[in-house]
Amino acid sequence: MRKEKTMADLAAIVLAAGKGTRMKSSRVKVMHELCGRPMVDFAVRAAREAGAGRLVLVTGHQSESVRDYFAADGHITCALQEEQLGTGHAVACGLPLLAGFGGDVLILCGDAPLVQGETLRQLAAEHRRSGAAVTVLTALVDDPTGYGRVLRRDDGTVARIVEEKDASPEERAVGEINSGIYCVAADFLREAVAGLGNDNAQGEYYLTDIIAAAVSSGRACRPLTVRDAEEIAGINDRLQLAAAAAVMRRRINGAHMLAGVTIVDPATTYIDAGVVIGADSVIQPNSHIRGASTIGSGCVIGPSAVVDSCTLHDGVTVKAGSVLAESVVHHHAAIGPMAHLRPGTELHPHVKIGNFVETKKAVMGEGSKASHLTYLGDAVIGADVNIGCGTITCNYDGKRKHRTVIEDGAFIGSDVQLVAPVTVGKNALVAAGTTVTKNVPADSLAIARTPQVNKEGWVKKKSE
């Protein structure tokens, strides 16, 4: 009886060793980002979604940077391809890490980030259903430039794949392209890769040649054609990177909208992969939500806001032109317009941060307000505190940073400098224009300014 293949029988090899010459970059191609993640990460995630239990990443150029990125992932092992002798050679470098594995192997390109887990799952299912030696993902396109062309046999199976540089004019006219994504029986793959040569226009060991090898040994290669060609787009240059990023953005924004988020203008809204947004939040145009950000329900973000690696709870408003990084904002706090929350800021419920206010490592208690033109750094501020316009925490003495503490209910007048370390006690009042250099006891008034003198008629006399 034939044993049903399970997920454990599926492994994946992701090819990521190439330099990516056409990117014209000092950074290896597969580490270029779209929607906040290196392109290779999308291929890896898709393979995992499809059920690949073991994942081999073939690295070469800047292998350190690729390995470092995945270092925390215990399911990925890396194989080094020291010299990039072609996609077939790359697979040969990865296969020893699957020694003894007898299932099917998904092969993916690290430069094809748009393929979806569900499509790979279908590829593996189709491969198993048909019993072919190789199943290749293909697409029909108007402009096949740059891709390998899929040449079919009369029965619809694939005869071989020819690279553009090796193709005759008739072959180049074929509109069916190779995705570079395959499902192959591991045993056949080992045997076929070992037999590859490099007698071609680029002098490389082409993985694509395993197909002709299958056919000549009496086995079949079957195509699985994707409905939407954009899913298999490979990225070789920055034009293609921008095009792929646009597709990814459309997908991400689409998923948020279907989950109940209003995106006023999806074409100008940039949300990184993995960002979480609650229902009934509204994202205004030209806003960027980046990194590991989580946004609650009923929030309003933008226009033109940047939220990077922040947690925003329900009902938070981030008004136009505000920039937030590595901060936590509790429910119903309001920020901006044009405010800047720097790392380590935590705003408790109903806090108000107004225009041209900058915070850094600052905690503000419930209901506190800093409505205008203020810098709060290394500050611990209690509840119901009012920070007047133009207040500055002088936290840096040129060598070290010091802390300012403002306790519950204190009132800081306009244009106050708080020279840290310093504490303003509960319900204390600091008069406008005061430079606070000593602690202010609870319930007291601190005032430090020269008494005003009016010299009557002075201006008139001077001009005479």
Binding site for Ca ion (CB under 5 A): 111, 234, 236
Asked whether position 65 contacts ligand UD1 by CB under 6 A, the answer is no
Based on the shown chain and the rule CB under 6 A, indicate whether residue 85 belongs to the binding site for ligand UD1. yes
Binding-residue total with ligand UD1 (CB under 6 A):
31
C-alpha–C-alpha distance, residues 357 and 363, integer Å? 14
Instruction: Based on the residue annotation, tell me whether 372 is a catalytic residue of this protein.
Output: yes
Q: Which stretch binds ligand UD1 (CB under 6 A): 127-135, 174-182, 358-366, 391-399?
A: 174-182
Binding residue (CB under 6 A) for ligand UD1 from 42, 101, 182, 206 = 206
According to CB under 6 A, which residues from 221 to 280 bind ligand UD1? 234, 236
CA 22 – CA 113 distance, rounded (Å): 17
- Contact with ligand UD1 (CB under 6 A): which of 12, 58, 185, 299? 58
Q: Give the whole-angstrom CA distance, residue 114 versus residue 273.
A: 12
Q: Could you say which of 38, 103, 110, 365 contacts ligand UD1 (CB under 6 A)?
A: 110
Q: Rule CB under 6 A: is residue 17 a binding residue for ligand UD1?
A: yes
- Spatial separation of the C-alpha atoms in residues 277 and 18, rounded to whole Å: 36
State the Cα–Cα distance between residues 171 and 163, nearest whole angstrom.
9
Q: Which of 64, 4, 54 is nearest to 28 (CA)?
A: 64
Least distance in Å: CB of 29 to ligand UD1?
6
From the list 86-94, 135-143, 308-316, 432-440, the region that binds ligand UD1 by CB under 6 A is 86-94
Looking up tokens 């936290």 gives 395
Query: 58 touches which of ligand UD1, Ca ion, none (CB within 5 to 8 A by kind)?
Result: ligand UD1
Candidate residues 81, 311, 317, 322; the one interacting with ligand UD1 per rule CB under 6 A = 81
- Give the x-and-dash track for 318-357 against ligand UD1 (CB under 6 A): ----------------------------------------
Nearer to ligand UD1, 112 or 410 (CB): 112
Catalytic residue among 127, 332, 350, 372: 372
Q: Which residue is closest to ligand UD1 by CB?
A: 148
Q: Which is nearer to Ca ion, 111 or 407 (CB)?
A: 111
**Pick 18 or 413: Cβ nearer Ca ion:** 18
Q: Is 381 in the site for ligand UD1 (CB under 6 A)?
A: no
CA separation, residue 195 to residues 46, 58, 372 (Å): 29, 20, 72
* Residue 182 binding ligand UD1, by CB under 6 A: no
What number of other Cβ atoms are within 10 A of residue 326's Cβ? 16
Please name every residue paired with 16 in a beta bridge, in sequence order, or none if there are none.
59
C-alpha torsion sign, points 203, 206, 211, 216: positive
Per the listing, tokens 């806001």 go with 305
CB of 234 to Ca ion, least distance (A): 4
422 part of the interface to ligand UD1, by CB under 6 A: no
DSSP letters spanning 22-55: GG--SS-GGG-EETTEEHHHHHHHHHHHTT-SEE
Classify strands 10-16 and 417-419 as parallel, antiparallel or unpaired: unpaired
Judged by CB under 6 A, the residue of 101, 147, 188, 375 near ligand UD1 is 147
Query: What are residue 392's DSSP bridge partners?
Result: 375, 417
- 148 is a contact residue toward ligand UD1 (CB under 6 A): yes
Q: Which residues of 342-373 are buried (b: 16+ CB within 10 A; e: fewer)?
A: bebbbbbbbbbbbbebbbbbbbbbbbbbbebb
Q: How far is the CB of 44 from ligand UD1 (least distance, A)?
A: 12
CB of 385 within 8 A of CB of 404? Answer: no
If one asks whether residue 86 binds ligand UD1 (CB under 6 A), the answer comes out as: yes
User: Scanning the structure block, which residue is given the tokens 């940073």?
Assistant: 401
Q: Using the rule CB under 6 A, is 89 a contact of ligand UD1?
A: yes
**Residue the block writes with tokens 């694509």:** 208
Instruction: Give 193's DSSP letter.
Output: H
Is 144 an interacting residue with respect to ligand UD1 (CB under 6 A)?
Answer: no
Least Å distance, CB 416 to ligand UD1, is: 58
Q: Distance between CA atoms of 320 and 23, rounded to whole angstroms?
A: 35
**Which among 376, 352, 373 is positioned nearest to 424, based on CA atoms?**
376
Catalytic positions: 372
Positions touching ligand UD1 (CB under 6 A) are 15-18, 30, 58, 60, 81, 84-87, 89-90, 109-112, 147-148, 161, 163, 177-180, 206-208, 234, 236
